[in-house]
Amino acid sequence: MLKRRDGGFVLIEFAIALPLLILIAWGLASVTAKIFYLSKNQLADYVLETEAQYVIERVTQRARAASSITVEREEKYNLKIDKIELKYRAVNDDPENANLNVADVLERQIFVVDNKKLHAKRIDDGASTSPITGDNYFGGTQINLFHCDLNETEKILHVTLEMESLISGHKIKINTAVFMPGYGS
C-alpha cells in the first residue's frame, strides 16, 4: 500500500531516470575517453619531437668537430637509411689533468640504424645494443629516413631525418646542415 510519506522512487521515475543517466554517463565517458586518447597521443608526440631533436643535435655536434666522415648508403626495410662514421677531435677542457691532456685525440662515433632504431656506437662490431631512440615508455618511435649527404668541397654535411611515432602515427621530418671547419685536416 502506497503511503504519502513513503520515501524512495516509483518505478516510472526509475524508468525515466535510467535512460537519462545512461545518456549522460555515455556522453561523459566518451569525452573522458577522448581526452585520455588525446593525452596519450600528445605525450607520444612530445617523445617523438624530443628524440628527433636529440638525434639531430647529437649528429650535428659530432659532425661539427669531424675530421673525416664515411657515409654508407643502405636500404633497410624499404627505407633510405644511411650509416655514418665520424672521426672527430676530442676536446680537453682540463689542462691540469695530465692523464687527459693528450693533444689532438681522434675519437670515433658511428651512427647506424638497426631495427628502425638509431644506435650510437664507438666500434663497428655489428652488435645493436645501444639504441638512442625508440624505447621510450611513453611512446615508441621509429626511424623512417636517415640520410646524410657529404659535400667535401664545401665541408658541409646535410642531414635529413624522419621519425614516426608508433602511438600517434605522426611523423616529423627535420632537414639541417652543418659546416665542418676541421674536415680533411
Partner 1 sequence: MRRLKNILGNQRGFMLINVVFLTVITSFAAMILMDAAPRIRNNQTSMRLIALNLANEQFAYLESRAARGLEPDAGFLGEGEDLINDSFGNENMPINFTVETSVTGGGNLRSVTVTVKWQSGGENFEIESERTIRIVETS
Task: Report the interface residues with partner 1, using CB under 8 A.
Answer: 2, 4, 6, 10, 13, 16-17, 20, 23-24, 27-28, 30-31, 34-35, 38, 41-42, 45, 49, 52-53, 56, 60, 154-156, 158, 160, 170-179, 181
Cβ closest to partner 1, residue 68 vs residue 160: 160
Cβ closest to partner 1, residue 63 vs residue 121: 63
- For residue 182, list its beta bridge partners: none
d(CA 121, CA 127) in angstroms, rounded, equals: 9
Cβ closest to partner 1, residue 121 vs residue 168: 168
| Shortest distance (Å) from residue 98 CB to partner 1 | 34
| Shortest distance (Å) from residue 125 CB to partner 1 | 31
